[in-house]
Structure 1
């Protein structure tokens, strides 16, 4: 079985019933020109400036004032191989945020594990990073009026590299500690500020290399055991990504490229949250389910050139007042606890032809919504691929339990998006937090 640890920091108002107290508050970190308010972490007094040229527009360079919040140094009780971050932020026009992380090998002394947060350099992509440098995991804005949200391809160091939304070890030794930083930016000609409500990360021991692990690293599929979730199917609306094939070529033309935003849209609808008609009024009126197109536009990673960025999808969901994070589970038994609590999960899978009986397709990477279990313990999903049929009626289906675990756990490390209202009971069983 894998080892997984999740930790985050937030505005305390997000979880008034939390027993974690100070340890989960932004107050536990270091403020550098930022201020903690009831509305979130804000930019109070700039500590630097950045001349930034958005590579996805006309090449104009703009100057932004910058301030930071840095997490405490987090020592792991196991050597981990991957880190995935999540965040919730609001970015008024003229503002954006950058999420960064840095890691250190097991056994490093505290002074050298991650370096000094205030003086650490940032790897701007496309080159070698020195140990102690910050790896950028995302430049995020709610819309594209200020910058185009993006990851930074080409970041690599002696022991780590960034694969889109995942900071990954280069060898089995892995890492022993980690640290997050959020940098708040605002245009030099404005007093506006972004608002950051939460920052978090999940670290896990199973590293993924080229979408596959060695046989020795693969989890054994647990035999099904009776569960309160068996026979439970959550009433999650069904949307087909295949209905959107050919729409908006600049966003990868829908279809198979939109599995993640389509899944996110389904879960938002389940919680009765999501964009207003005014928000998606820009979508062609002849297109079905325009909120799916809107989700694709708001999660599109211009550096990755796709909508499948895990962190960007949960950041989009968090805009609607929801707790949204990327995490990893170790079995369907852990997933059952979420279903029993009324929380659907968006799961990342991949498989060759025949790997998932009844799917009707193969995939190098796909997102779907786990909505329940049959009476016999098989999984019930809203699969946006809809058997490659352009119909919302083809979305709800069931898959064999053991086959599903094999296309989910070894390929993505059990990656799921967990999305729910702040007042909903929090499922923590099976995870260190």
Structure 2
């Protein structure tokens, strides 16, 4: 359940002065004329843009790629643009690959961003893999280099999936899976970006990755230690399978040893199975038959980031979920608990990321610098019902947490750790998984967030 603090950065922004100015300017005319002035709409904090339609794929710049239409449009290798060598840093092997590239149109998010997280949905059969990169324009007109946001393969027989450390242009850095402006208080923001996909295959074959979705969440969430409690709106509980990460303690040290390190894949597996998908017996044949819930071991292996040395890479978990039949998955941020209630109301659970001291979440029984759990509902009183994998058994996974406490630990961006020092909070990060053919109500709820 612990995410190394050095791999996650704080979202920071100096918005208090600007917010105060807006409030004064809105109040002025009303005081002078007596005419009511509508309250200023809150500035958006999050922007989502995902390319997934035939028109989207055709709108980008392709070099060797081919877009195809149909019920689920996508992108594949057509005629390779060239051949390259890849030296896998984790195996020591250098291998030749044919490749093709696609670059998205420039996207100007409605949020001048301090952080951007990319995610993608793809099928990568044996003998193929892909790389996702981001390049952007800053608010002062300067540009970034191309940053690698992930090297992905669903399996691990060709390359070992990996993030790339030590990427920085002196103004922003990549922290495992997140582009982050180094000094948000300076006012520097990312105001536009493009994504680049590179698809790889064994030379001389007809193999190809198939990409159905690629995009990013851009955000600028203000520094905040506390978040005001909201009013409950939804009472519903979803029937999501329950799995404990702690029943896997000591299993598969090569995938971070089970237990507290497996909160993310355990949560991901719960929702994959909620939507009626799961690994086949053949896919689970490698797991020790003495281990319970082998599908959790499978999820850990297939989300493991060999650079991060853990299973907590956010986009890798989304890509894992989307590797199942007709599944979509993204990493995003939600701006409020109300948005999460709207998803649960239409039958969509979410995996949320939070950090807290033991005394900050009544009933948890532990503290953590980073933990994933699955929100499956809300009580009539508005409290949060979560499948918390940090439980001693599957039967104990369902928890009810106090609304105000849970809302605060999830949405804040600053907190005090056990040593009394200021540490980061995730500011509403979550994974959303849903089927290719959602209900009309589900589609509407997703569209409201910009992730349909």
Deviation at 1:104, TM superposition (A): 1.6
2:341 is matched with which residue: 330, 336, 343?
336
SS at match of 1:192: coil
Mapped contact 1:11–1:41 kept (Cα < 8 A):
no
Distance in 2 (alpha carbons) for counterparts of 1:152 and 1:105 = 22
TM, length-normalised to structure 2: 0.82
- Answering whether residue 77 of structure 2 is matched by residue 43 of structure 1, we say yes
| Residues 314 and 419, structure 1, Cα contact 8 Å, conserved in 2 | yes
Distance 2:210 2:329 in 1: 16
Aligned position for 2:231: 225
Q: TM-score, normalised by structure 1?
A: 0.86
**d(CA) in 2 for partners of 1:163, 1:431:** 25
Is structure 2 residue 407 aligned with structure 1 residue 405?
yes
**For residues 9-55 of structure 1, what are the alpha-carbon distances to aligned partners after superposition, in whole Å with 9 as ceiling and x for unaligned?**
1144xxxxxxxxx4xx2122111110012463111122232211112
Mapped contact 2:144–2:169 kept (Cα < 8 A): no
Question: Hey, what does 1:312 align to over in structure 2?
Answer: 316
Q: Secondary structure at the match of 1:324?
A: strand
| Structure 2 SS opposite 1:75 | coil
- Whole-Å Cα distance in 2 between the matches of residues 429 and 379 of structure 1? 24
Aligned to 1:116: none
The corresponding residue for 2:365 is: 360
CA distance in 1, matches of 2:363, 2:314: 26
8 A contact 1:264–1:317 mirrored in 2: yes
Report if aligned partners of 1:352, 1:362 keep a CA contact under 8 Å in 2.
yes
CA distance in structure 2 between the partners assigned to 1:35 and 1:337 by the alignment: 37
CA distance in 2, matches of 1:308, 1:71: 27
2:113 paired residue number: 80
- Tell me the residue number matched to 1:431: 449
Per-residue deviation, 1:226? 4.0
- Which runs of 4 or more aligned residues in structure 1 lie more than 4 Å from their structure 2 counterparts after TM superposition? none
Shift of 1:276: 1.0
Deviation of 1:94 (Å): 1.5
Give the deviation of 1:190 after TM superposition: 2.6
Residue of structure 2 equivalent to 1:196: 211
Partner-residue secondary structure (3-state), 1:5: strand
Question: Tell me, what secondary structure is at the counterpart of 2:269?
Answer: helix
Answer yes or no: is 1:97 the counterpart of 2:99. no
Query: How many angstroms does 1:323 deviate by?
Result: 1.1
Q: Name the structure 2 match of 1:106.
A: 139
Among residues 152, 156, 165, which one is paired with 1:140 in the alignment? 152
Contact 1:263 1:384 in 2 (8 A): yes
The structure with the largest alpha-carbon Rg is: 2
Q: Which runs of 5+ in 2 are unaligned?
A: 1-41, 413-424
CA displacement, residues 61-83 of structure 1 (integer Å, 9 cap, x when unaligned): 11112211111101133321111
Is 1:6 the equivalent of 2:6? Answer: no
The question of 1:187 aligning with 2:218 is answered no
- SS of the residue corresponding to residue 150 of structure 1 reads coil
Structure-2 residue corresponding to 1:276: 280
Partners of 1:55 and 1:384 in 2: how far apart?
A: 32
Are residues 1:54 and 2:88 paired? yes
Equivalent-residue separation in structure 1 for 2:164 and 2:145 (angstroms): 14
> Which digits, 9 at most, give the CA deviation of each residue in 1:396-429, with x for residues without a partner?
0011111112211121120111111121122246
Partner of 2:27: none
| CA contact 1:221–1:331 (8 Å) conserved in 2 | no
Q: Using the TM superposition, give the Cα deviation of residue 430 of structure 1 relative to its aligned residue in structure 2, in angstroms.
A: 5.6
